Amino acid sequence: MFGHFDYAEILNNLPYLMKVGMTFTLTLTALVVVGGVIFGTLLAMMRLSSIKPLSIAATSYINLMRSVPLVLVIFWFYFLVPYIGAWITGADQPVKVGAFLSSVITFTMFEAAYYAEIMRAGIQSVARGQVWAGYALGLNYWQTMGKIVLPQAFRNMVPILLTQTIVMFQDTSLVYVLSITDFLGAASKVAERDGRLVEMYLFVAVVYFVMCIAGSYAVRRLQRRIAIIR
Amino acid sequence: MHYHWNWSIFWDLTPEGTGTYLHTLLVGLLWTIATGLAAWIIALVLGSILGVLRTVPRRWVAAIGNVYVEIFRNIPLLVQMFLWYFVIPELLPRGMGDWIKQMRPPWASFVPAVLCLGFFTAARVAEQVRAGIQALPSGQRMAGTALGLTLPQTYRYVLLPVVFRIILPPLTSEFLNILKNSSVALTIGVVELTAAARAMQEFSFQVFEAFTAATLIYIAMNICVVFAMRWVEHRVAVPGFIGPAVASGGH
């Protein structure tokens, strides 16, 4: 069964897999966390807003993103972004957007919907009296949100945001459908070149597994450390 | 911008000569539903067993369930898909592996896709079932034991009938997830809805019409499932025990 397992194949390609593939995956994950949480928080604030059009727009966006598969969203943005680019810059032709930028935009837009729901729960977990206290002190909406509500909401939601980030880290492997060389893409290119599918895909599975297990273990420890005792 | 909209494209014939583009999409929808339902049966059965195992008062039995869940939750679905499609036939005894590889076209990718989605979602169902069982007051389990029921009987007649009612809403969203996740099967050649839209886009060059149609179909599918499950929830609710009034909890 494992008699023909070629460990050298993995060792020889390790530098390529890590330097090209894993770097892409990790950079994409890092950028999307930042972008997704910021955009997601704005969406959550819009969704909870008392201004009806804003709340309807945010709710429809979130529901739309959550009811279609990520693969379809990846295809959507891959074709849509060049047109949006042309619309923004006023060019006649669709703008050429690189694979990396395209995936950053896609995942940010998609994950924002998921982060938004987490942040909404976080904002709603802050006692109403806190908001009233803010207004009573004469703070405006942005000051109340920025200085009182959001810091507490973030603190409450950090474990869930990080868990969602681990899920997203796994989901980035789907850029494979655009033939992008992320970690899985790199492994699959090597696998097909050398005819070593078994070694490569098992190796990829083990690496993802170890990273995600370590990540969720760290999240659990963090959760115990930062939990607010009420 | 020069994008030529052409909404009548759906009634044009495909170059493959199998019918209109609309027909292609609807066949894709059928494959999405078939993959989702078949995988859901595996997920529900296996997930329930694993979820129960994780709450059994035997350390090593619970450990089996926990290890399963950790493995299947921490490897990306796409990688699992490749493992089922490319790797497992190689690791099986030669005769069996060859038999799998020689299955006829739709089945050679449909079967691994169903197994993959089923085993992947089973981990998530197991998590819901475990949470449901642990959410019950411990008096329920004790009452079962006090009545002289064996452990399997306590689960069968006391705990599980209530648990499955409690976890219907999260199970609904897992079912929606399995329908969405079936789109990952396009990487191993299942022509489900997303793949059908992609094929339509490649043949007709009408990118946005194809993807809009697929998006609308996914939304419609979601709405149907949500309404159907709401009806089921209503039907199986135990009066005065579990219901919207309790779920929304006043104080």
* Mean pLDDT in residue range A151-168: 92
Give B9 or A170, the one with higher predicted confidence.
Answer: A170
pLDDT for position B217: 95
Q: What's the pLDDT at A223?
A: 86
Query: For A202, which residue in chain B has the nearest alpha carbon?
Result: B83
Choice among A57-66, A185-194, B217-226 with the minimum mean pLDDT? A185-194
Which of A77-81, A226-230, B4-8 is least confident?
Answer: A226-230
pLDDT tens-place string over residues B43-52: 999 999 999 9
Is the confidence at residue B1, as pLDDT, over 60?
no
Amino acid present at B150: T
DSSP single-letter state for residue A62: H
- The residue with greater pLDDT, B242 or A162, is A162
Locate the domains of chain B by residue range: 33-192
Phi and psi (nearest 5°) for B55? -110, 0
Q: What is the 3-state secondary structure (H, E, C) of A83-134?
A: HHHHHHHCCCCCCCCCHHHHHHHHHHHHHHHHHHHHHHHHHHCCCHHHHHHH
Q: Say yes or no for a CB contact (<8 Å) between B79 and A86.
A: no
Residue-wise pLDDT for B150-166, tens only, equals 999 999 999 999 999 98
pLDDT score, position A120: 94
Question: What does the alpha-carbon distance between residue A20 and residue B128 come to, in Å, rounded to a whole number?
Answer: 38
Q: CA of B106, closest CA in chain A: separation in Å?
A: 20
| Mean pLDDT for chain B overall | 88
Least-confidence region, from A21-30, A214-223, B14-23: B14-23
Q: Which CATH number fits domain A7-226: 1.20.120.450, 3.30.428.10, 3.20.20.70, 1.10.3720.10?
A: 1.10.3720.10
B128 burial type by CB count under 10 A (0-12 exposed, 13-18 middle, 19+ buried): buried
- CA-based torsion, A108, A220, A213, B109: positive or negative: negative
Whether B77 sits inside 8 A of A170 (CB atoms) is: yes
Per-residue pLDDT, A81: 86
Average pLDDT over every residue of B98-103: 79
Q: How far is residue B64's CA from residue B52's CA, in Å, rounded to a whole number?
A: 11
With tokens 């460990």, the residue in question is A7
Residue B241 binned pLDDT confidence (cut-offs 50, 70, 90): low
Chain B residues close to A94, C-beta within 8 Å: 1
Instruction: Tell me which of A3 and A197 has the higher pLDDT.
Output: A197
Name the CATH topology of B33-192. MetI-like fold (1.10.3720)
Q: What confidence tier does A2 reach under pLDDT thresholds 50, 70, 90?
A: low
Tell me the average pLDDT across B175-180.
Answer: 94
CB contact under 8 A, A213 and B74: yes
- At residue A3, the 3 state secondary structure works out as coil
d(CA A42, CA B148): 56
Min Cα distance B150 → chain A (Å) is: 35
CB contact B19 to A (< 8 Å) = no
Chain B window 68-127: which residues touch A at a Cβ cutoff of 8 Å? 70-71, 73-80, 82-83, 86-87, 90-91
Q: Is the pLDDT of residue B99 over 50?
A: yes
pLDDT tens digits, residue range B114-133? 999 999 999 999 999 999 99
Q: Which residues of A108-136 are buried (b: 16+ CB within 10 A; e: fewer)?
A: bbbbbbbbbbbbbebbeebeeeebeebee
Q: CA of A207 to nearest chain B CA: how many angstroms apart?
A: 9
Residue B212, chain A, CB below 8 Å: the answer is no
Tokens representing A208 are 């993802």
Q: Residue B228 and residue A119: Cα distance in Å, rounded?
A: 29
Q: Inform me whether the pLDDT recorded for A1 exceeds 80.
A: no
Residue with tokens 């998590």: B127
Q: What is the rounded average pLDDT for all residues in chain A?
A: 90
Asked whether the beta carbons of residue A75 and residue B219 sit closer than 8 angstroms, the reply is no
Q: How far apart are CA A50 and CA A63, in angstroms?
A: 19
Better-scored residue on pLDDT, B209 or B71 = B71
Mark yes or no for CB contact B198/A198 under 8 Å: no
- Higher per-residue confidence, B26 vs B246: B26
Contacts of A87 in chain B (CB under 8 A): 1
Query: For chain A, what are the domain ranges?
Result: 7-226
Overall average pLDDT of the A111-129 stretch:
93
- Indicate if the pLDDT at residue B93 is higher than 90: no
The Cα of B241 is separated from the nearest Cα of chain A by a number of Å equal to 26
Nearest chain B residue to A187 by CA distance is B79
Size of interface A-B (CB pairs under 8 A): 109
What DSSP designation does A195 have?
Answer: T
Interface of B with A in 162-201 (CB under 8 A): 176, 180-184, 186-187, 194, 197-198, 201
For B3: left if phi > 0, alpha if psi spans -120 to 50, otherwise beta; the answer is beta
Give the residue among A130, A182, A150, A137 at the shortest CA–CA distance from A24.
A182
Overall residue count recorded for chain A in this entry: 230
Confidence category of residue B134, pLDDT binned at 50, 70, 90: very high
Chain B positions touching A69 (Cβ under 8 A) are: 180-184, 194, 218
- Rounded CA-CA distance B153/B158 in Å is 8
Contact criterion met (CB < 8 Å) for B1 and A87: yes
Asked if the model's pLDDT at residue B70 lies above 50, the reply is: yes
Query: Which of B79, B187, B218 is opposite residue A201, by nearest beta carbon?
Result: B79
What's the rounded mean pLDDT across residues A164-193?
92
Please give the pLDDT value at position A5.
76
Cβ–Cβ gap B180/A68 under 8 Å: yes
Residue B244 has what pLDDT? 44
* Distance linking the first and last C-alpha atoms of chain A: 55
- Give the pLDDT score at B242: 52
User: Percent of chain A beyond pLDDT 90?
Assistant: 67
Considering CB atoms only, which of B74, B187, B215 is closest to A208?
B74
Tell me the pLDDT tens digit for each residue of A68-84: 999 999 999 998 888 88
Among A160-169, A187-196, B4-13, B216-225, name the one with the lowest average pLDDT: B4-13
Long-range contacts of B153-162 (CB under 8 A, 24+ apart): B155/B52, B159/B133, B160/B48, B160/B52, B160/B133, B162/B136, B162/B238, B162/B241, B162/B242
